[in-house]
Structure 1
């Protein structure tokens, strides 16, 4: 989820996102191997796939904007990691689930506690509301509230 976690960083990145007609999938500041990492995941709207050239262009613009910023939005040393969310992208925001439903993507969810004897479910989203979603699991409808879901990702089907 775009952690408003760091509004100053978001304020720098958002105009670049809009200018390059990209979709900000996630912006996370985390520790990786003991080092602060700023991870920005971008894609194209309308379920198109971003190219490496577009990621490179975006990365260069973000680097320039961060270098020119009057106040460092991420104090201290950090590594900047800009990438696509990938095929098996994490779903954490309500609009992520809407995106998956629009594309008729299969998703895999892991629950905090077992439901009907299992903690992992895979299916397509048949309905969605503010409280949760209904998955079509092999023709059977299963309802899950968002607060039951520990993790959700797009499930790659080969």
Structure 2
């Protein structure tokens, strides 16, 4: 995570000639996204989400990134630095209240809605509505067309259009995985 104050002088006072915070234009995700997306993609990540919210007198720019193989803390720090540098380079376009930049990876509670989400969770147990029925199953395979889910009754292929959003179920096994079971 990285933070930065924009257009604010020491002591929290607005620079002379700058509009007061109440008069400043609000940042929007749509306004920031054209600067953030190319940086994220050039670093080899998918931009999963970008939000701008208000926290007191600051805007909070929250950027969620992911990639195949996951994202570690060092990767989050590096892409955060790159995004911050890009935003600094466009500072005049982002005049407004001070902001804080938060860069993170998606949490386990993120719904699986895109083929890449399912692919990145092969081997995990999920809860999903499939064909109108709720089920808990393990993701065996996933591609652009659909997913193979394994239940106690066997494996079945599903097209994404037949599925609701999946939710990864956290497992506390405490032991070894069975032979052939993916992580």
For this structure pair, what is the TM-score category when the shorter chain's length is used for normalisation? 0.5 to 0.7
- 2:50 maps to 28
Q: 1:93 is matched with which residue?
A: 114
C-alpha separation between the residues in 1 aligned to 2:130 and 2:104?
Answer: 28
Structure 1 residues 33, 147: CA separation in 2 closer, same or farther (over 3 Å shift)? Answer: farther
Query: Which residue in the other structure is 2:35 paired with?
Result: 12
TM-superposed deviation, 1:54: 2.3
Distance 1:32 1:132 in 2: 38
Aligned position for 1:80: 101
Aligned residues: 142
For residue 16 of structure 2, what is the aligned residue in structure 1? none
- For structure 2, the 5+ residue unaligned runs are 1-27, 173-183
Inter-partner Cα distance in structure 2 for 1:57 and 1:129? 29
Are 2:147 and 1:124 aligned?
A: no
1:50-107 CA-partner distances (Å, limit 9, x unpaired): 33232122212212211222534x987765321122445432212212332xx32222
Q: TM-score, normalised by structure 2?
A: 0.54
Q: Does 1:71 align with 2:93?
A: yes
Identify if the C-alpha distance between structure 1 residues 78 and 99 changes in structure 2 by more than 3 Å, giving closer, same or farther.
Answer: same
Closer/same/farther in 2, CA of residues 54 and 144 from structure 1, 3 Å limit = closer
The residue aligned with 2:151 is 137
Unaligned 5+ residue runs, structure 1? Answer: none
Match of 2:123 in 1: 104
State the superposition RMSD in angstroms. Answer: 4.0
TM-score normalised by length of structure 1? 0.60
More strand by share: 1
Deviations 1:107-137 (A, max 9, x none): 222x49962xxx4x22123465767544212
